[in-house]
Structure 1
Amino acid sequence: MAIILTVQGKGSITDGDVFIFPTDEELTGDDINAFITANDDLAKNKYLPAKKMYLGQHQIIDDAKKDHGPDNRLVGNLAHYIVDTYNGFYIGIPPKITLDNTQDNTVLQEWNDTNSVQDKLSEISKQAAIYGRALAFLYQDEDSKTCIAYSSPINSFIVYDDTVA
């Protein structure tokens, strides 16, 4: 794990864009703001260009028009094709998530259906293919029911501690 950037404060970012913070230090508001700024920079320089490429908004579309002759601009959106094809092969047949106990399995399947887990896994897979990472989290809603959600790395990030675990 090579650290290539020290974030203002005590945090750092590895060469894989992983945010690290020392276990023995207290995470302050300034440290969080520094990580937010670093993630905004990653979004601007890495994630948003990748999203534009996937959406077919290639640079050639924005280039200045030619002074003379035909201005034939074609975009063969290979990025979109590759991501969607990979996603179809990777998660086209949804994984079976089951438990051995029949009663527990029934509850799990109801939870999977209620939370549209298969659809969320598909979106998480697509985001991982576009951005190189995807974030999913479990949370408790207002009725104390466990839910699952995903978030684009443009809008969210995880800060890991600096231990091996």
Structure 2
Amino acid sequence: MGWYTNVIRSLGHRPWFATVGRAAVPVDRWLQRKTGGRITVIGRTALPTLLLTTNGRKSGLPRTVPLLYAPDGDAFVVTASNWGQQHHPAWSANLLASPEATVSLAGGREIPVRAALAEGAERDRVWPLVIRVWPAYDTYVERSGRAIRVFVLTPS
């Protein structure tokens, strides 16, 4: 991992970084779409990112959010950390209501997936995978005061 990625991962623990990150989500979503996922708002990094498109549980409309992920075989593990806020992000409720979604990867590759909420032993197994990608998730758990939802997205 390069020095730049290490700096970004270190900054992830700071509250101001989460505030800036939340504000940058619309720009990041646009930038990833325009570049086919090759560039994110924090630049080209070794951090694995994807665009997750869910169906809105109330509107039924497609909703897209940029996320970090941890690979798990052919599956993608994502966390509903919401940058350490006290409430779950809307996209996680969308997946609970309708687990069919689409993942867009670098190069514009789209993969239909089925989401499963990781609980119990499965959650214990995949949590270290996401911490290796983004160590600040442990900080987000402390900051949020809630159990952060973790989803395994399996290609369908």
Q: Normalised by the size of structure 2, how large is the TM-score?
A: 0.23
Rg larger in structure? 1
Q: Structure 1 length as normaliser, TM-score?
A: 0.22
